[in-house]
């Protein structure tokens, strides 16, 4: 019987293992650069006694933190709008940080494809949209209007649906702008159906303290926020806390003062074009009346 050395097969197995480990390492290193392209649509249903009965049901699409620029091309913006339009929204709400700076925000809206919704598209400003010069605020708002988007900056927009109204209350960015939370709250009533929009969830504690035109708290029914990117990079992002917000406001849904709050992970990335276990997201929110 011919003797066959067994060390050759062991060497082949060891070589194969090294190749597999090398390929796994490549995948692990590449994945954070792939995840930013893995956009998901979160679908949520809510009920509200404040939503007028004749409206019955309201479909909202909400998204924030696109950060168009070197890492988010115009082609991706076009695809994003196509995704939004396929959701057949009653309202589309934009939560700020459209580009990397205020000049980029102007260009973003100049090049924005038409967003389709039954009752309009509304938008607030983010910290990147409110970089200097201050005069760019009027340029951004003008570009928004030209793109069919209504800016809400320390303002309340009344949206007529059937025979009733709902109200969109939006403030300027809390970091780089001049938010007037008390002024906005004082323009609505507790019995109105109000959606509160602020780019940063830093505004939430003060929003709970604000009073409506009749001097009462709990003046909004749904709060929509972005800014945090959900930490963007799991574990490390939690530790760095670049957004500088309370841990409970990092991402996801919560209820405070009987009000539904959403802190979105956003669509784009900031600083580095990577995400780790924080997939980008937009939101389809269906609100049904309980009246």
Tens-digit pLDDT profile for residues 33-77: 999 999 999 999 999 999 999 999 999 999 999 999 999 999 999
pTM of the predicted model, to two decimals? 0.91
Whose tokens are 């480990």? That residue is 21
CA dihedral 144, 260, 271, 238 (to 10 degrees): 170
For residue 222, which of 198, 248, 246 has the smallest C-alpha distance? 198
Name the percent of the chain lying above pLDDT 70. 90
The answer, yes or no, to whether residue 5 has pLDDT greater than 70, is no
Q: Is the pLDDT of residue 2 over 70?
A: no
pLDDT recorded at residue 267? 98
Instruction: Residues 7-289: name the CATH superfamily.
Output: Metallo-dependent phosphatases (3.60.21.10)
* Neighbour tally for 35: CB within 10 Å: 19
What ranges do the domains of the chain cover? 7-289
Question: Are residues 126 and 64 in contact, defined by beta-carbon separation less than 8 angstroms?
Answer: yes
Q: How far apart are CA 57 and CA 71, in angstroms?
A: 37
Q: Tens of pLDDT along 183-242?
A: 999 999 999 999 999 999 999 999 999 999 999 999 999 999 999 999 998 776 555 556
DSSP 90: S
Q: Which residue has the tokens 């194969």?
A: 16
- Residue carrying the six token digits 């090049």: 111
Q: What is the largest CA-CA distance in the chain?
A: 100
């Amino acid at each position: 019987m011919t003797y066959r050395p067994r060390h050759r097969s062991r060497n082949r197995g060891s070589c194969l293992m090294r190749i597999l480990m090398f390929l796994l390492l490549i995948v692990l290193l590449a994945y954070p650069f792939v995840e930013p392209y893995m956009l998901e649509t979160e679908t949520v249903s809510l009920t509200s006694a404040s939503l007028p009965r004749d409206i019955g049901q309201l479909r909202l699409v909400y998204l924030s933190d696109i950060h168009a620029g070197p890492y988010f091309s115009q082609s991706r913006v076009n695809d994003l709008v196509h995704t939004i339009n396929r959701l057949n929204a009653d309202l589309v709400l934009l939560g700020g940080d459209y580009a990397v700076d205020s000049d980029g925000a102007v260009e973003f809206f100049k090049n924005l494809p038409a967003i389709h919704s039954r009752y309009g598209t509304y938008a607030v400003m983010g910290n990147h949209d409110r970089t200097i010069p201050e005069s760019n605020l009027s340029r951004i708002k003008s570009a928004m209007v030209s793109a069919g988007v209504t800016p809400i900056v320390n303002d309340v927009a009344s949206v007529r649906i059937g025979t009733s109204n709902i109200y969109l209350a939006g403030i300027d960015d809390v970091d780089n702008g001049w938010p007037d939370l008390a002024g906005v709250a004082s323009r609505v009533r507790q019995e109105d159906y109000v959606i509160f929009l602020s780019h940063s969830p830093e505004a939430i504690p003060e929003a709970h303290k604000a009073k409506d035109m009749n001097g009462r708290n709990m003046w909004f029914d749904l709060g929509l926020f972005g800014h945090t990117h959900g930490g963007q990079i799991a574990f490390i992002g939690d530790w760095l806390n670049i957004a500088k917000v309370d841990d409970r406001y990092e991402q996801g849904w919560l209820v405070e003062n009987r009000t539904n709050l959403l802190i979105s992970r956003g669509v784009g990335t900031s600083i580095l074009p990577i995400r780790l276990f924080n997939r980008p997201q937009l939101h389809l929110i269906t609100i049904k009346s309980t009246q």
